[in-house]
A and B are shown apart, each in its own frame.
Chain A
């Protein structure tokens, strides 16, 4: 990185977990998710690498429908799915590694694109249902095909993504164009054979789970039994079986009998990665409830209740809003949960309910700006957070296209920026710093210069390698680490 400043005033890059050496991040590829990508990926003979590097730099292709609303690696990290505001899902596949081209590690190319959800109209309420994809969750791979769940505000869909590289030729009753042959003209019989064809990736909706949510779905989570999953909206959580679409079990219901008494909503929910009976859900009041489905059919009474007492010195009118949890994630080990509220990321030990074991300040300099952030609604932004594969580093986004990483072992943190202007392919990312005082150093940026329209809400970390995907509006950045 070429650091020459004293460590106290300049962020230190994360150290590697094993083997020593400093870890720095480089941009692998930058992908623009736009309508043009959708059109081109349908043509099989286009070199998809061209999509990544060429005309996508032209911003005129970008529309609001292209804003990425969710990013998710599959369980092997081979595939990376994005959902956008226009209801589209774009799946990227990792470039095949070869010994001759080690430098191409971590590059992803478009694999499949499909329209998952369409805008709908609720005739009873005279309201349009947005097609925006709120969440995508992959199922573990059990055969040659890939399966994922995608959801908008009201409907969850199970998609099957499969490859076809052979087609049958030599039918008896129809010719190669598909036209039926007159049986009277057939004099001999032949056995159709499978012949190779150009690879075609097709996505088909296998299940549609609809009409189960009155309120907006904010989370979906696949159970470790791989047979069920849950979907959570503002007031209810439903449990589904993948095979059954016409009914679901309601497992959490916090809707008060009198809506006037409504003071709290569900903000996120997730199944335990190992125990199929356990799940957690977070609330707008900054609490997390852990529930055990063996205790009762309706898990209205929690097994554990996680809440940190309010700090009286930081109390303000906005205390509740900034305590509202926007994301909750189990660690891969299942021992910890991580929560994201407006200003911090917290790590909780499942065995300790009265306070988190770790708290990381994401952008505490915003604490004195809460009033203006309330006025422009930025205070309601919902940031997500992710664990790395070994649960040693956590990552979350911020404003000005900044995203932050925290190393739980060394307690070091770094701020990086996802922007085209500041990152050339293969160039090392320079750590950023926001200055809060009056004196601004040369490379620092002042709080008032931050662009609050450029927010990193969605990020993803490869399950086993140091490859991360960062979504900035309609741009998808993929970074990998570069061990010196």
Chain B
């Protein structure tokens, strides 16, 4: 502790400023400079996951998304997802990290952000039967499907469950060639199951018809 009336030296002050930022420091990067002091507190992957979901959501809200930004964020999401999946598979995790890769605590913000994401996606042309309310059907704390297919990019687990056909809808609206045909491919492929879900969830089919009319109308112009 400092004695009475003793001014702290300038160097010490600056040292304190530096360490106050530690909580943002990466868990996986080792501290290269020994002068930085105690190793920083790790940032849980689930927070990074939430942040990435938010970025995805924010990026898609823009009129014309930046494809590079989108691809990099999605790839980062995949990395985080597979890392969280790997953490959940061993029975006894070596470190005191949360056993459940999707802990209950962040459920609410994750659910909210993903729902908001879906809400926006449903208004983007080219997407079809996005389901608006999932919280009752699919428990978010369910661990993502194991057995990652090496030939295919790792699915985003719960995000994929909520979005029909995974990430297809995320990139569709950017490509103008989708206006040619196959407007609602998902409806055709998963006809029986999907239609039940649509009617069961109370999704406004007339809204979909209106969207289709608008799109078809622009094509004939």
Bound together: yes
> CB within 8 A of A260: which of B28, B36, B171?
B171
* Most chain B beta-carbon contacts within 10 A, residue among A214, A313, A380, A438: A438
The smallest C-beta distance from A8 to any residue of chain B, in angstroms, reads: 16
What are 28 contact pairs spanning A and B, CB under 8 A?
Answer: A124-B218, A214-B174, A214-B176, A214-B177, A255-B175, A260-B165, A262-B71, A263-B75, A263-B153, A284-B68, A314-B29, A316-B26, A316-B28, A324-B68, A368-B31, A369-B21, A369-B24, A371-B24, A372-B24, A374-B76, A380-B69, A438-B11, A438-B35, A438-B36, A438-B37, A439-B14, A440-B14, A447-B18
In this assembly, does B48 line the interface, its C-beta being within 8 Å of a C-beta of chain A?
A: yes
Q: Is the CB of B172 within 8 A of A259?
A: yes
Q: Which residues of A contact B32 (CB under 8 A)?
A: 364, 367-368
> CB within 8 A of B11: which of A264, A367, A377, A439?
A439
Q: Is the CB of B21 within 8 A of A448?
A: yes
Known: A265-B68, A320-B76, A446-B17. 10 other contacts (CB 8 A): A127-B63, A127-B64, A214-B175, A259-B174, A318-B26, A368-B29, A369-B25, A371-B25, A436-B35, A439-B35
Q: Is the CB of A321 within 8 A of B72?
A: yes
Q: Mark A231-275, 1 if CB is under 8 A from B, else 0.
A: 000110000000000000000000100111111110100000000
Residue of A nearest to B11 (CB): A439
Q: Is the CB of B67 within 8 A of A436?
A: no
Q: Tell me the A358-410 residues at the B interface (CB within 8 Å).
A: 364, 367-372, 374-375, 377, 380
The smallest C-beta distance from B105 to any residue of chain A, in angstroms, reads: 20
Q: Is the CB of A128 within 8 A of B63?
A: yes
Q: Give the number of residues in A that approach B within 8 Å (Cβ atoms).
A: 49
**Assembled-state Cα–Cα distance A88/B59 (Å):** 27
Closest 9 CB pairs of A and B: A437-B35, A438-B15, A259-B171, A234-B67, A372-B24, A260-B168, A316-B28, A127-B63, A127-B64
| Chain B residues proximal to chain A, CB less than 8 Å | 11, 14-15, 17-18, 21, 24-26, 28-33, 35-37, 40, 43, 45, 48, 51, 55, 63-64, 66-69, 71-72, 74-76, 79-80, 83, 152-153, 165-168, 171-172, 174-177, 179, 218
**Given A263-B153, A316-B28, A368-B26, also A380-B218 (CB < 8 A):** no
The smallest C-beta distance from B166 to any residue of chain A, in angstroms, reads: 6
> CB within 8 A of B67: which of A235, A320, A324?
A235
* Most chain B beta-carbon contacts within 10 A, residue among A125, A127, A255: A125
The smallest C-beta distance from A238 to any residue of chain B, in angstroms, reads: 16
In this assembly, does A226 line the interface, its C-beta being within 8 Å of a C-beta of chain B?
A: no
The smallest C-beta distance from A31 to any residue of chain B, in angstroms, reads: 30
Q: Is the CB of B83 within 8 A of A317?
A: yes
